């Protein structure tokens, strides 16, 4: 176990050579997805197929962007929201949650 605070651990993780290599891989993958889209690789046989393939491609790029831009504050905020959600759901299950 480490004595570092989570922000310090996160900073160290972001600066680690393997992490840097992983983020370089993500950046390359994102650019490849964009090039594939520009080349029409996500076209479909009909409008629905085209829409699904494009949505999948855009979703993939959005996930990669979110990972590349991830900050410690994003993780802390997400954890806080998840705990609140779970607490609210627990109240609903035992009938103690009040209507708003």
Tens-digit pLDDT profile for residues 8-41 = 999 999 999 999 999 999 999 999 998 998 888 8
Is residue 13 situated within a structural domain? Answer: yes
> Cα(25)–Cα(64) distance, rounded to whole angstroms?
10
Residue 53: inside a domain, yes or no? yes
- If one counts the domains in the chain, the total is 1
pLDDT class of 1 with cuts at 50, 70, 90? low
Residue 15, domain member (yes or no): yes
The beta strands (E) that lie in the chain are given as: none
Identify whether 1 is part of a domain: no
In a domain, 33, yes or no: yes
Using only the alpha carbons of the chain, give its radius of gyration: 20
Domain hosting 40: range is 6-94
Residue 73 falls within a domain, yes or no? yes
pTM of the shown model: 0.70
């Amino acid at each position: 176990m480490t004595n570092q605070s989570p922000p310090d651990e996160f900073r160290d993780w972001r600066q680690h050579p393997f992490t840097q290599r992983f983020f370089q891989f993500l950046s390359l993958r994102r650019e490849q997805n964009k090039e594939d889209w520009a080349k029409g690789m996500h076209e479909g046989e009909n409008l629905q197929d085209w829409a699904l393939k494009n949505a999948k491609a855009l979703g993939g790029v959005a996930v990669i962007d979110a990972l590349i831009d991830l900050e410690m504050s994003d993780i802390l905020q997400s954890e806080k929201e998840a705990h609140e959600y779970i607490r609210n759901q627990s109240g609903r299950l035992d009938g103690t949650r009040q209507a708003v």
